[in-house]
A = this chain, B = another copy of it.
Amino acid sequence: MLDDLRPRLGRRLLTGPAELAVFGCDALTAFYERPAAVVLVESADEVVAVVRACHREGVPFVARGSGTSLSGGSLPIGGGVVIALNRLDRVLSVDPDARTAVVEPGVINLDVSRAALPHGLMYCPDPSSQSVCTIGGNLAFNSGGAHCLRHGMTANHVLGIRAVLPDGELVELGGDSVEPLGPDVAGMFCGSEGLFGIALEVTVRLVAVAEATHTALAVYDSLEQAGDAVARIVAAGLLPVAMEIMDALAIEAAEASVKPNYPKGAALLIVELEGERGVVDADAAALRELLRASGAGEVVATEDPDARALIWKGRKSAFSAVGWLAPDYIVQDGVVPRTRLGEALAEIGRMGAAAGIRVANVFHAGDGNLHPLILFDGREPGMLERAEALAGDILRLCIRLGGSITGEHGVGVEKREYLPLMFTPADLELMRRLRRAVDPAELANRGKMLAVA
């Protein structure tokens, strides 16, 4: 069916089994689906042409950024065409006055900040994968990061989207500077995991690089104490830009891989303050007191860019670093109300011990977004199933505590079956109706989040 396009695409239309294989999975290794074809597009026009061809022939398609999805999001379920957007990787413009940038969807997250930096600006959302993941993937998953605590997730930073709908129509959603008008369709597109079409151009909001940034690292004898420190910081009215906790296993993993040289302890709390010089100084003094009062052992506080970078490198590499501790792992992504973090962590500890499975914890403590890393050896018979069962139990725990099954990694394929735990049939049916209104044949990202199957 893509034969019409072959002359135009040439060697950028992949159909050989070997070439297709790498596009059959994402960063979550548990799932694999071989695409029927992959198109390495080099322009928005090509995306539109491929989508129109798919629509004409009734063939499903899936957009792919860097394939770092952790929920099977970038997989072509049941075959279909993968539209690989990595080559659409240009920052088209930066407007320092309006504090906006217009980017192609395949641009790497970090490259947006790189382009903005000469103007004293940056792009805020910082998934740990920011040096590889794309803005298109971020938008589809409404991705977050350590520094989204104060500034909000991707949806808060996307102003306008030029997109091709699953039927090949071109639309402009949202805008760049003016007040919103009518139903917020751009907002609906964000976080909808590619179900409403493919973003071709994204206008993002930039923020000023802060005058001062202060990073504190505190070590504790227990996770509970670290969690308690977070509660104290919030209660005191401080508004850090990031508050992250790592447990002993996560610390061990980070040390084994990127050697951040963290102080030793059962739990680490990273708190980052940002703002005007005077405010940061005052807040840093208050923070020092709060950390002391919460029973912290060693506290490292720094504003040195290299020292800060190393602290964050350890934290941000924690996922991949657990590869040093076990042959296989599942990253879970659940949310609990911040007030119930301690309870959730204690219960996860008990559940892991009961299952005889080690669980490392790294999490966005400020907003209750947990990332339990379930470590196992897939070569042991039955282990994968036990690890998956534990992962499911952890999700159900999050819901029981009043939380959610995904904070930022999306529903994808992995969590489809958990949606009824979060939504009533009427809620799900409403989302499906909206989806069908835009894509009655369910061509875009078939088999994902709102799949009927």
Interface residues of A (CB under 8 A from B): 97-98, 142, 144, 153, 155, 165, 169-173, 175, 177-185, 187-193, 195-196, 208, 237, 276, 278-279, 282, 335, 337-339, 367-369, 402-408, 411, 419, 422-424, 426-427, 429-431, 433-438, 449-450
B191–A188 CB distance below 8 A: no
A190 to B186 alpha-carbon distance, docked (Å): 13
A183–B171 CB distance below 8 A: no
A177 to B183 alpha-carbon distance, docked (Å): 23
A211 vs chain B, min Cβ distance (A): 9
Given A144-B179, A178-B337, A437-B436, is A185 in contact with B431 using a C-beta cutoff of 8 Å?
yes
A330 to B278 alpha-carbon distance, docked (Å): 47
Q: A172-B424, A179-B406 are in contact. List 5 more A-B contacts (CB 8 A).
A: A169-B426, A177-B337, A177-B368, A181-B422, A279-B279
A59 vs chain B, min Cβ distance (A): 22
A177–B411 CB distance below 8 A: no
A144 to B182 alpha-carbon distance, docked (Å): 14
A362 to B177 alpha-carbon distance, docked (Å): 20
Given A98-B337, A208-B237, A429-B169, is A181 in contact with B437 using a C-beta cutoff of 8 Å?
no
B404–A175 CB distance below 8 A: yes
Point out the residues of chain B lying under 8 angstroms from A190, CB to CB. Answer: 184
Point out the residues of chain B lying under 8 angstroms from A282, CB to CB. Answer: 276, 278
Number of copies: 2
B188–A185 CB distance below 8 A: yes
Which of B278, B403, B411 makes the CB contact (< 8 A) with A178?
B403
A430–B179 CB distance below 8 A: no
Given A170-B426, A175-B404, A438-B430, is A192 in contact with B182 using a C-beta cutoff of 8 Å?
yes
Quick one: closest B residue to A192, CB to CB? B183
A411 to B437 alpha-carbon distance, docked (Å): 23
A423 vs chain B, min Cβ distance (A): 8
A183–B144 CB distance below 8 A: no
A160 to B426 alpha-carbon distance, docked (Å): 16
A437–B433 CB distance below 8 A: yes
Which of B196, B368, B404 makes the CB contact (< 8 A) with A181?
B404
Point out the residues of chain B lying under 8 angstroms from A184, CB to CB. Answer: 155, 184, 187-188, 190-192
A413 vs chain B, min Cβ distance (A): 14
Point out the residues of chain B lying under 8 angstroms from A406, CB to CB. Answer: 179, 181
Point out the residues of chain B lying under 8 angstroms from A155, CB to CB. Answer: 180, 184, 187
Point out the residues of chain B lying under 8 angstroms from A188, CB to CB. Answer: 183-185, 187-188, 434
Per CB-CB distance, the 5 closest pairs between chain A and chain B, nearest first, are A437-B437, A187-B187, A183-B192, A178-B404, A433-B437
Quick one: closest B residue to A173, CB to CB? B427
A142–B276 CB distance below 8 A: no
Which of B97, B193, B335, B426 makes the CB contact (< 8 A) with A339?
B97
Given A191-B183, A427-B171, A430-B171, is A178 in contact with B368 using a C-beta cutoff of 8 Å?
yes
Point out the residues of chain B lying under 8 angstroms from A405, CB to CB. Answer: 181
Point out the residues of chain B lying under 8 angstroms from A435, CB to CB. Answer: 183
A378 vs chain B, min Cβ distance (A): 28
B182–A404 CB distance below 8 A: no
A104 to B184 alpha-carbon distance, docked (Å): 23
